[in-house]
Amino acid sequence: MQPALVVHGGAWEIPDVAVEACRAGCRRAFEAGWRVLEAGGPAIDAVEAAIVVLEDDPVFDAGFGSHLNLSGRVQLDAILMEGATLDAGAVAAVERVRNPIRLARRVLDASPHVLLAGDGAEQFACEQGIPLCRPEDLITPSQLAAWRRCRESGHTSAAHFACEHGTVGAVAIDATGRIAAGTSTGGTCCKYPGRVGDSPLIGCGCYADDEAGGASSTGWGEAIMKIVMAKTAVDWLRAGEEPQRAAERAIRLLSDRVHGTGGLILVDRQGCIGASFSTPHMAHAYRDPDGNLVVSP
């Protein structure tokens, strides 16, 4: 079958000055994942490759350049899931790993567990040969300045809103019909230390099932968790819903039921794509049915 891939760089109000960087980041991430699929590689490798590019790009809230938490530190969450086996690997609240999606992959492939957090996750990284960085290596000057502005303004919601940016994710189906999904985030601006959102949780931050489809979420994690958004949307695919309608329905549920904002990308078993969001923008990229690359915003 024809492979398919969709990547996102988060649902948020992207300021005009950041639009081009978001578009370029999503395009580069798409191309990295697509190279894997074009070469006949597995969906899980394509998703990981795409997310590494997004984590390395400081315009997104994942890996290098993530939001700082209340203590002025970056704490990262990530998950990868494969739809053939429903196996997943995830990490939460890691502070010394440049590419948490690579560590999530090691949890998936080399650990009996699904989710490792904090010091234990970093210990596992060392055992797996993933080098640890210094916590400050993940901090950009612009995020440090944003954190200082938030702190000086007493953490008003307006200050947080002004420096929100995007969780990242990808969903793919490869030539053999295997589906994978992944998500990576620095979480919310000035979150409480140790706070973990939807992103590293199966069914919330992402879901993949070869019998139905795959999904990756972005947005306000406290709300997304309550409706188990990724699994909910994949279950609608399972019931025969079109991906675009399922994505729109999930975002409506997020808004109507738990007053949350966010976005969702979906791929079904036929490789059809859906994308929806309730924020002003969601950075994302995919190929349309004619093979043209669509990059938004």
- At residue 30, what is the residue type? F
Can you read off the two tokens belonging to residue 286? Answer: 């995919």
DSSP symbol at 208: E
95-131 burial, b if ≥16 CB within 10 A, otherwise e?
bbbbbbbbbbbbbbeeeeebbbbeeebbebbeeeebe
Query: Which residue in 25, 89, 221, 243 binds ligand GLY (CB under 6 A)?
Result: 221
Residue with Cβ nearer ligand GLY (18 or 62):
62
Q: Is 100 in the site for ligand GLY (CB under 6 A)?
A: no
Q: Closest separation between CB of residue 178 and ligand GLY, Å? A: 25
Can you read off the two tokens belonging to residue 43? Answer: 């969906």
Q: Closest separation between CB of residue 76 and ligand GLY, Å? A: 10
Q: Which of residues 7-66 bind ligand GLY (CB under 6 A)?
A: none
- At residue 275, what is the residue type? A
- Alpha-carbon span 31 to 37, nearest angstrom: 10
Residues that bind ligand GLY (rule: CB under 6 A) add up to a total of 11
Q: Is 219 in the site for ligand GLY (CB under 6 A)?
A: yes
Nearest to 199 by CA among 34, 4, 2, 54: 54
Q: Which of residues 156-215 bind ligand GLY (CB under 6 A)?
A: 167, 185, 187-188, 197-199
Q: Closest separation between CB of residue 218 and ligand GLY, Å? A: 6
Q: Which helix (H) or strand (E) holds 148?
A: helix 141-152
Residue with Cβ nearer ligand GLY (182 or 221):
221
Q: Closest separation between CB of residue 69 and ligand GLY, Å? A: 11
Residue with Cβ nearer ligand GLY (44 or 224):
224
Can you read off the two tokens belonging to residue 166? Answer: 């995007």
Q: Is 75 in the site for ligand GLY (CB under 6 A)?
A: no
Establish whether 156 is a catalytic residue.
Answer: no
Residue pair 208/46 in contact by the 8 Å Cβ criterion = no
Query: Which residue in 218, 276, 278, 279 binds ligand GLY (CB under 6 A)?
Result: 218
Angle between helices 43-56 and 16-38 (to 10 degrees): 150
Q: Closest separation between CB of residue 31 and ligand GLY, Å? A: 25
Residue with Cβ nearer ligand GLY (199 or 278):
199
Residue with Cβ nearer ligand GLY (195 or 249):
195
- Alpha-carbon span 18 to 31, nearest angstrom: 20
Burial grade of 297 (CB within 10 A; 0-12, 13-18, 19 or more): middle
Residue with Cβ nearer ligand GLY (99 or 184):
184
DSSP 26-70: HHHHHHHHHHHHHTT--HHHHHHHHHHHHHH-TTSSSSTTPPP-T
Residue of 85, 140, 156, 167 marked active site: 167
The residues of the shown chain that bind ligand GLY, judged by CB under 6 A, are 167, 185, 187-188, 197-199, 218-221
Annotated active-site positions, please? Answer: 167
